[in-house]
């Protein structure tokens, strides 16, 4: 659990950084990546505690995020500790989080990746990520099986991670249409910023 006080967070973050630094050194690599969605809410503190940190924001269509959350929470309510089936809660969470990314995108330490673009043009998007991180792109990055086992370990058994070893496929970008009837889709779009369309929200041309 992340400490709520600023002092407690800094102590936690510094200790966590030392652990990850040690693991990186032991494995002979220059960088480490930490993926915890809630850390989006602590960007300023992380940036202050880890001065050379860079941040990658992955933004997905809002309706599909809501559908994905609804399924994941239903499959693992204890792990999520969120209300099951509360679409309004999921909608507000996407709105809140995407507004943080909107504010952060102008900072050179932040890079935004759009989920649907990553699925449709994986090599192009990964090359941009590598440029941002000063890493050399490798073709094996396009195969999730190369890293999923190492990164996830036992966590791969969690229900919502069952597809991490599968090839990237564009149909996962339309999960809301497959999961919810039209009236629920309309409810989602009415509550989501710009109807959940990141293209309109971020001013991205199709």
Give per-residue pLDDT as tens, 82-96: 888 889 999 999 999
pLDDT computed for residue 181 by the predictor? 76
pLDDT computed for residue 84 by the predictor? 87
Give per-residue pLDDT as tens, 100-145: 999 999 999 999 999 999 988 999 999 999 999 999 999 988 876 7
**DSSP summary character for residue 180:** S
pLDDT computed for residue 41 by the predictor? 93
* Per-domain boundaries in the chain: 54-202
Give per-residue pLDDT as tens, 163-191: 666 666 665 556 666 677 788 888 888 99
Helix-, strand-, coil-residue percentages of the chain, each rounded to 5: 65, 5, 30
Mean pLDDT over residues 66-85, rounded? 85
pLDDT computed for residue 8 by the predictor? 75
Nearest to 36, CA basis, from 6, 70, 9, 67: 9
Whether the model pTM is above 0.85: no
Percentage of the chain lying above the pLDDT 70 cut? 79
Choice between 136 and 72, residue whose per-residue pLDDT is larger: 136
Q: Say what the alpha-carbon torsion angle 167, 173, 177, 183 is, to the nearest 10 degrees.
A: 150
pLDDT computed for residue 206 by the predictor? 59
Query: Mean pLDDT of all residues in the chain?
Result: 84
Beta-strand runs (E) in 42-176 = 55-59, 110-114
Q: What number does CATH give the domain 54-202?
A: 3.40.50.300
């Amino acid at each position: 659990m992340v400490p709520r006080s600023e002092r407690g967070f800094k102590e936690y973050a510094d200790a966590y950084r030392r652990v990850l630094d040690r693991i990186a050194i032991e494995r002979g690599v220059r960088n480490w990546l930490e993926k915890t969605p809630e850390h989006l809410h602590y960007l300023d503190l992380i940036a202050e505690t880890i001065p050379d940190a860079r941040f990658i924001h992955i933004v997905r269509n809002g309706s599909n995020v809501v559908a994905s959350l609804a399924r994941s929470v239903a499959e693992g309510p204890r792990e999520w500790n969120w209300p099951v089936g509360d679409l309004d809660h999921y909608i507000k969470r996407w709105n809140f989080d995407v507004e943080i990314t909107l504010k952060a995108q102008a900072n050179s330490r932040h890079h935004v990746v759009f989920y649907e673009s990553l699925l449709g043009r994986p090599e192009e998007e990964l090359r941009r990520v590598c440029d941002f991180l000063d890493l050399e792109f490798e073709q094996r990055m396009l195969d999730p099986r190369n890293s999923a086992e190492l990164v996830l370990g036992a966590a791969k058994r969690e229900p919502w991670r069952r597809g991490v070893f599968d090839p990237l496929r564009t149909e996962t970008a339309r999960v809301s249409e497959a999961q919810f009837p039209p009236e629920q889709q309309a409810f989602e779009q009415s509550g989501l910023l710009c109807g959940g369309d990141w293209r309109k929200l971020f001013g991205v041309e199709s």
